[in-house]
Amino acid sequence: MSANPSFGSDELGISKGTILGDHHMVEAFLGEGSFGVVTKCRDTKNNKTVAIKVNKSDPEILLQAKLEIFILEQLRRLDPDRCNIVEWNGYFLDGERICLNFELLDQSLSDYIGDRNNQGLPMRELRPILNQLANALFHLGSVGIVHADLKPVNIMVVNRSESQVRVKLIDFGIACNTSAVIPGDCVGTIGYCAPEIMLGTPYDEAIDMWSLGLVAVELATGVPLYPGEDDYDVLKFIIETQGQLPDHLLESGLYTDSYFIEDNHNEQRWTFKTQEQFQYETDYRSKETRSIKLKCLDDLEQLLKTQMRLEGLCQRVKRSLPLSSPWNRPEVPLEGATVVIIRCVAIPWLLLSTRRSELLPCHSRRVFLGLNSLC
């Protein structure tokens, strides 16, 4: 992540040259958020440069930091390089603040795309990035952890100077064990979180697969697929592009009636509220914020074909997708690569549409089904 001298906080009392703990000297500020700041530091004991996440001393933030440490301790079972997950070096205290020590990485995928004027990545870069992200999610699922906030800003390029881009997943601040999931918890980021989160239904690792699909499209096109300012907008975009959400999902949602009207006399039991109805109830006026507006996933296929200047017709992807994958072949035709990107979006939709009772009891089964079809 590139250093930014404008970051910093009088509230935290940290500036360039500040010593955190006993021997971590601040050299630059890398980012900030409601939790505090991320700094580039030099360990004066071994002269190694690392990234230090400095959490504010607010009681709620300290509790969240302790929960993050709990997750990071579990991730020690995984090889960070082989599993494409940021390496955690432990934590220390700076007064009442909890500081998390991570390996220093280069740049977020969000900035990486921005450096290319948001034109999207060429397939020779996109394919291995998606492969690595699927690998990271597979390994998180293997230890029963949901990341819950997968998006380009939380994916880091290890080193831009390398011939093949390597990425790692970062920020486990709201990650949790599948066994500790609480339906209705507000997690994730608007525009990237799965329908289960917006509706307040039970969820598992499959929500990360949904986010991966949206990241895949954004990396290919350079712009978000569902950039809503409110959950209503995002649900509206999803329904317009991928169809009505399944009844079994809507029936179990704590917040379904915030966005849908129930009518037991109609064949379609739930009807999405009109913009006028939602504005009357909430005083929020829906906005059209999409750079790309799709009517169905087949439109996405055509968009990607144009984006990549493909010649010939791409195989049309139906909802009954085969689970065979072209990913690990030595050479992937651009047509096949386009299909892979669409599968990143379509497979989570298929999983979402499947009742839990029709899947194996294991919580992670849904995400493994999807990941095995991609990797």
Catalytic residue list: 149
Q: Which residues pair with 50 in a beta bridge?
A: 41, 103
What gap in Å lies between CA 367 and CA 348, rounded to an integer?
8
| Residue 53 is assigned to a ligand binding site | yes
Per the CB < 8 A criterion, the answer to whether 188 and 234 are in contact is: no
* Helix (H/G/I), strand (E/B), else coil: 326: coil
- Are residues 89 and 44 in contact, defined by beta-carbon separation less than 8 angstroms? no
- DSSP for 178-194, written as a single string: GGG--TT---S-TTTS-
Contact in structure between 136 and 142 (CB atoms under 8 Å): no
Interatomic CA distance for residues 97 and 75, integer angstroms: 22
Question: How far is residue 208's CA from residue 315's CA, in Å, rounded to a whole number?
Answer: 26
Q: What is the largest CA-CA distance in the chain?
A: 72
Annotated binding site for ATP: 53
